[in-house]
């Protein structure tokens, strides 16, 4: 299992990578929510603003857990992709949310392997919102929600 050999120090390092991804999401959602144009994107633009607020809460939660593990939280965001095309930006978000969900699923298992059950619960709460973000983005794109099962690579579920 992915969490069997993780140490507290390694978990803090991985959470810092997750924190950098949360910063990336905050920036992306702030920018994308303001630059999406067209009637078809009015609804998702307001959802993206809400996502930005939620991602900030995620960053605060993850920062608290990193501090609890005795490390300093990261101050660097992962790069944010932009495009002139609204659909491309939403697809970037969809892909980032999928990666975040896969990482947090692993983080839950790693926390539990270390006996950090409260931390695992905090991350599970984040996962619920991240999955909602994934659904919102897939819906806005008119796509099926990606299947993020344990197999490698994103797949879409059949209807």
User: Residue length, the chain?
Assistant: 159
Determine the pLDDT at residue 119.
Answer: 98
Rounded distance between C-alpha atoms, residue 137 and residue 142, angstroms: 9
Determine the pLDDT at residue 149.
Answer: 83
Average pLDDT over residues 35-41: 87
pLDDT band for 4, please (50, 70, 90 cuts).
Answer: low
3-state secondary structure of 134: helix
- Residue-wise pLDDT for 99-150, tens only, equals 999 999 999 999 999 999 999 999 999 999 999 999 999 999 999 999 998 6
Determine the pLDDT at residue 158.
Answer: 41
Contact call for residues 18 and 104 (beta carbons, < 8 A): yes
Average pLDDT over residues 63-79: 98
Contact call for residues 46 and 69 (beta carbons, < 8 A): no
Which domains can be identified in the chain, with CATH numbers?
Answer: 8-144 (1.20.1260.10)
Look over the chain and give the mean of its residue pLDDT values, rounded to a whole number: 91
Average pLDDT over residues 15-41: 94
Does the pTM surpass 0.95? The reply is: no
| pLDDT exceeds 80 at position 20 | yes
């Amino acid at each position: 299992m992915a969490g069997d050999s993780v140490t507290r120090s390694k978990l803090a390092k991985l959470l810092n990578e997750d924190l950098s991804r949360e910063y990336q999401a905050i920036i992306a959602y702030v920018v994308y929510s303001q630059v999406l144009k067209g009637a078809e994107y009015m609804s998702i633009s307001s959802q993206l603003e809400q996502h930005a607020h939620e991602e900030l809460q995620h960053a605060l939660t993850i920062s608290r857990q990193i501090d609890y593990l005795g490390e300093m939280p990261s101050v660097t965001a992962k790069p944010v992709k932009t495009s002139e095309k609204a659909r491309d930006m939403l697809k970037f978000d969809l892909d980032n949310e999928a990666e975040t969900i896969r990482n947090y699923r692993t983080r839950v298992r790693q926390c539990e392997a270390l006996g950090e059950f409260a931390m695992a619960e905090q991350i599970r709460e984040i996962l619920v919102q991240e999955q909602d973000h994934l659904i919102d983005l897939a819906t806005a794109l008119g796509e099926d929600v990606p299947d993020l099962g344990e197999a490698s690579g994103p797949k879409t579920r059949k209807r």
